[in-house]
A and B are shown apart, each in its own frame.
Chain A
């Protein structure tokens, strides 16, 4: 599909996964990401893959564990409440060093919440939603094109570092329709000598496991894993800056919030206000250096979030409190509009609080 097609973000993720060589999808329907499952149900049989609607989210994530153990590319998707259900399985994947792609099209929470877009699973995704010391690589797309690109990138990173990757999007990026092209180069997945593929009596058994009953062995595993995480932090940070170099006021936003904020920043610039945008694309690893650099010259950073203020904590740590960091937020599924954020920028430019 090298020509442009019109797709929902959810569909773009599904198609990109197939292009990335994923032939196993396990999921359970939940709004606003059901299009991923629906698309996979139609496409997987045609490419010789498996689409399976599991009996629950918990079953689905454990099927992911099983397929990943064999070295195959595999994914699941859900939305906030369903992702909470998957957390045990995600911790097991991390503990067994298994790659996988997990999509969370966030909706308003906590609890059952609502079906409108949200970013309130930031903590859960970036700080470890399950038990134990671990990280996921967390990617936050802001357009349908990026949904496709980051899905492919997500599989590559998961394989490279043997850890699960999460696409953290939201109801809007999942539902909105935009033109998208799929003409990007896809790398061959790396060899996986650790996979459980049958010994043919020619080698020792590979064992996929997260149970280490000897304390020193478990400690060793954890230290080793965090050495790998260090490499991810060094090599895989992604972010986008828009007019941030000379900006007095920097908006920090991700996903759909950054999409709206970008238009607000453009409008602020038209009015002569030196506004800029930093858009983290990897939420873990967090683009600490970009914010540290911004704190050297900007007057103020405003985190625009669709939650009660979660990413703002990472910004404050990254900037070491050198500049004031404030929050402008909407929650529950309410999206701010372009002029609302523009107003916040104008107010900040006048030196006022929000």
Chain B
């Protein structure tokens, strides 16, 4: 992956945004010293970047997130340090946005400054196995809704098509055609094809811009 100063991860609810954002932050940190991850999720109180807090600390990644994240206080709050994303241009930031247009509303608060600075990528995470984005037409709708709400345009696609723990390499390979069609229709590039790192050997040479990820287990051992 090549990174601009700001990388925005957005897309449909449950498409895998947080896992991608967390792994991108790990990746970015290996190239740029001053790396931060910003959690702007105002939709879901669960499965937040804060779940990886220990890893961020270990790796020296700054976490910008609401003090309510993972506190079980179900409040759609934004982090008070949110404006440092755009104000402090010395840092490199991965932004994890909440799902759908509702989630992208939060992004709208700072998208003006992001567009003005013009040093960003915004990736739409797609998963052809999610029931409400089965077709490219569905994706186009979601894309437009997010861009309207966030007042910013996507610059690329991350194909994160998967079936959870049951994902087989063929499932990812089979999804590439869908991702290609989506990319053509949206006139965007496929910035990455992301998958569980356990599938890396089988997929590394078979998908465009492979991006292997460490995934979190919901309930260890089950």
Binding site for B on A (CB under 8 A): 1, 4-8, 11, 15, 31-32, 35, 38-39, 42-43, 114-116, 172, 175-179, 256, 259-260, 263, 333, 335, 337-339
Contact = CB atoms under 8 A, between A and B. Distances in A.
A42 B166 contact: no
Nearest to B99: A38
Nearest to B165: A178
Interface string B12-36: 0110000000000000000000000
Residue of A1, A15, A176 most packed against chain B (CB within 10 A): A176
Nearest to B162: A6
Contact of A176 (B127, B132, B166, B218): B218
B216 interface: no
Contacts of B1: none
A5 B130 contact: yes
A304 to B, nearest CB: 13
B72 interface: yes
B59 interface: no
Interface string B183-210: 0000000000000000000000000000
Given A31-B74, A38-B13, A177-B14, A4 B163 contact: yes
Given A172-B218, A179-B163, A1 B131 contact: yes
Given A116-B72, A175-B46, A177-B14, A11 B219 contact: no
A69 B221 CA distance: 46
A338 B46 CA distance: 21
A4 B129 contact: yes
Given A115-B72, A115-B74, A263-B222, A179 B166 contact: yes
B134 interface: yes
B164 interface: yes
A6 B129 contact: yes
Contact of A8 (B14, B72, B163): B14
A32 B46 contact: yes
A4 B164 CA distance: 11
A42 B221 contact: no
B45 interface: yes
Nearest to B127: A6
A38 B43 CA distance: 11
A7 B132 CA distance: 10
Contacts of A31: 45, 74
Contacts of B218: 172, 176
